[in-house]
Amino acid sequence: MQNEAESSTPSGFIRQMIARDIASGKHGGRVHTRFPPEPNGYLHIGHAKSICLNFSLAEEYGGLCNLRFDDTNPLREDQDFVDSIKENIRWLGFRWHGEVRYSSSYFEQLYEFARQLIRKDRAYVCALSPDQAREYRGALTAPGVDSPWRERDPEESLDLFARMRQGEFADGELSLRAKIDMAAPNMNLRDPILYRIRHAAHYQTGADWCMYPTYDYTHCISDALENITHSLCTLEFEDHRPLYDWILQQIDRDSLRAASELGDAAAPWVPPEQTEFAKLRISYTMLGKRFLRALVEEGGVAGWDDPRMPTLAGMRRRGYTPASIRNFCEAVGVARSESLVDIAMLEHAVREDLDRNAPRAMCVLRPLKVVLRNFDEGRRDMLPIPCHPKRGELGRRKVPLGREICIEREDFAVAPPPGFKRLVAGGEVRLRGAYVIRCEEVFRDAAGEITELHCSVDFDTLGKRPEGRKVKGVIHWVSLAAAEKVTLRLYDRLFVEENPAPKNIGEVMAGLNPDSLEQIEGCLLEPAALTAEAGDHFQFERVGYFHRDREAESGTPVFNRTISLRDTWGRGSG
Ligand code: ATP
Ligand code: MG
């Protein structure tokens, strides 16, 4: 047993760090995080990890969490992405602090700070072409070479910078670069570009600008302007941290504080501190917007919200619940080194939530007609069957039973394999929530295919064991007269490889599992599952968890299989 003190110790290195910072009074004891997506794609489960981390930490420590779009690239970004990202975050159950922030709304301030850097001779306007600049940059093993424009007089740079803004130059003709160190072992410090000319409209600022600040220059200043205390990001930004720190050190502290949201209230002013954590990677899954976009564009899937996609939009449509995704992210935890998380762990989290919360219903995938011989023609029973086997509070639904029903084809066998507990000729089985029936006669068509069974009902078995014999099998069924026709979509892993690491879109397409989608038409569902009060998550007994898809054009309801019933997580490990 853990004692009180131990169990309340924050777990994880980020939590420990924040707890230390609060205790030492750094940042005046404040905790302010942010989620900073670039609106150039839809969110995936990797982003969910970052969202859960940032929002949960703020919640846990009584702090705040911003949503800020880091939107510095006019060519790739647009409002649709902004809208879907906001929608996804709300769906996950998080609320950001105040208004949505946009880095683009700091463009004027960023421009002023850039002028300050030029005046201090910490930045210069460079006329190397992009190709030349790449050459001058050197390599990991060789130092770079100073640009011939590096010692340009600050007054001249100021003038050129202003004229860049006015649109006097073409794309790539000039750039603004930080003056740091062309021999720095960290390539990010070799006079990185702060501004580049791009005659392109921006979805937020329209035609106001024809040059744009780089991501690195913008990101750290945006965090500072929002008085972020803990800037959490993934490991690939570790090498950028020295640049972020450099930029924030060069800008005059008082002007930075005065421009920040808290202004003087931010005193003592401490710049945001970046901490890196490992990206989430999941087996049989590929994350990374670039390839996901290509997958959509090449038609490898039906769209960003295809239920096979690891996007939040796809998972939502598939039937993953916000709680299951949050629980999964919590269970994965944060670490400093990357590892591949077993997809079974995610599936386990989904099952766990749905097992507890999804009402049960019966749906027959491949129907076989059964006539109940001793059940009167016009008779219809309405059987009250519990919506959940363990949660009486979820009530009962009324399931109609008539003379003609159908069962799953595979629940009947003429030559049963050993251990078969379902229906056989002359044998008995229980209809879930109803009576025990006995198979009296099997009908076939000319080709020998079984078309129909005739069974008798033991009316004495409703809610009771049959007398003097054991009936082991229980199968699902639906009444033919009342059943609703639906289409089911069953999904399998999108990728064949356990650890897909495609280098190009060709490899992405070649790695797809050809059997990732199976569509079954003409399935028969009990009618109560289509009523509004039934909701849209179900366990179809013995078949899996399903989620009702948005209205199909054909008018036939479609259900996506969220996940099968069998849990493979933790097998063998106890
Ligand atoms: P991608 O690699 O898919 O292109 P990105 O990092 O370019 O993603 P951004 O919009 O820049 O996407 O990311 C927003 C935030 O989400 C960043 O802080 C980033 O570190 C984080 N993030 C992205 N992918 C993952 C992941 N797989 N696991 C955890 N956090 C992630
Ligand atoms: Mg990115």
Q: Which residues line ligand 1 (CB under 6 A)?
A: 36-38, 46-47, 49-50, 233-234, 279-280, 287-290
pLDDT at res. 261? 96
Query: What is the position in ligand 1's atom list of the atom closest to the CA of 279?
Result: 28
Q: Which contiguous run of DSSP H or E holds residue 193?
A: strand 193-197
Query: What is the position in ligand 1's atom list of the atom closest to the CA of 232?
Result: 18
The protein residue with its alpha carbon nearest to ligand 1, atom 13, reads: 37
pLDDT at res. 158? 98
234 pLDDT higher than 70: yes
Q: How many CB atoms lie within 10 A of CB 383?
A: 18
Query: What is the position in ligand 1's atom list of the atom closest to the CA of 39?
Result: 10
25-52 in b/e form (b: 16+ CB < 10 A) is: eebeebbbbbbbbbbbbbbbbbbbbbbb
C-alpha 353/C-alpha 520 separation (Å) is 26
C-alpha 293/C-alpha 305 separation (Å) is 12
| Burial (CB count <10 Å: 0-12, 13-18, 19+), residue 295 | buried
pLDDT at res. 436? 97
Q: DSSP letters along 367-384, please?
A: EEEEEETTS-TT--EEEE
Gap from CA of 148 to ligand 2 centroid (Å):
32
Cα within 13 Å of Cα(199), Cβ side = 10
Gap from CA of 287 to ligand 2 centroid (Å):
12
Please indicate whether the domains covering 312-360+486-563 and 363-475 agree at the CATH topology level: yes
Gap from CA of 12 to ligand 2 centroid (Å):
25
Pair of tokens at residue 560? 């996506």
Q: 363-475: what CATH class? A: mainly beta
Q: DSSP letters along 122-177, please?
A: SEEEE---HHHHHHHT--SSS-----TTTT--HHHHHHHHHHHHHT-S-TTT-EEE
Name the least confident of 239-243, 277-281, 285-289.
285-289
Cα within 13 Å of Cα(161), Cβ side = 27
The protein residue with its alpha carbon nearest to ligand 1, atom 1, reads: 288
Q: If we measure between CA atoms, which residue out of 67, 136, 116 comes closest to residue 217?
A: 116
Q: Angle at CA 383, nearest 5°, toward 377 and 385?
A: 150
The residue ranges of every structural domain in the chain are 26-277, 312-360+486-563, 363-475
- Percentage of the residues of the chain whose pLDDT score is greater than 70: 97
pLDDT at res. 4? 38
483 pLDDT higher than 70: yes
Ligand that lies nearest to the alpha carbon of residue 289, given by its number in the listed order: 1
Q: If we measure between CA atoms, which residue out of 464, 341, 481, 322 comes closest to residue 405?
A: 481
5 pLDDT higher than 90: no
**Best mutation site among 38, 85, 234, 241 for ligand 1 pocket (most ligand atoms within 8 Å of CB):** 234
pLDDT at res. 10? 60
Gap from CA of 101 to ligand 1 centroid (Å):
18
- Percentage of the residues of the chain whose pLDDT score is greater than 90: 89
What is the residue type of 288?
G
Query: What is the position in ligand 1's atom list of the atom closest to the CA of 287?
Result: 3
Q: DSSP letters along 265-305, please?
A: GGPSP---EEEEEPPPEETT----HHHHHHHHHTTSSSSTT
Q: Angle at CA 281, nearest 5°, toward 319 and 238?
A: 130
Adjacency order of strands within the sheet including 101-102: 32-35, 64-69, 101-102
pLDDT at res. 553? 81
pTM of the model: 0.93
pLDDT in tens, 33-65: 999 999 999 999 999 999 999 999 999 999 999
Q: Which residues pair with 490 in a beta bridge?
A: 518
pLDDT at res. 7? 41
- State phi, psi for 274 to the nearest 5 degrees: -90, 135
Q: Which residues pair with 274 in a beta bridge?
A: 231
Q: If we measure between CA atoms, which residue out of 573, 363, 304, 376 comes closest to residue 483?
A: 363
Q: Which residues pair with 311 in a beta bridge?
A: 44
Ligand that lies nearest to the alpha carbon of residue 40, given by its number in the listed order: 1
Confidence of residue 9 (pLDDT cuts 50, 70, 90): low
Q: Which fold has domain 26-277?
A: Rossmann fold (3.40.50)
pLDDT at res. 574? 35
Which CATH homologous superfamily contains domain 312-360+486-563? Ribosomal Protein L25; Chain P (2.40.240.10)
Gap from CA of 215 to ligand 2 centroid (Å):
9
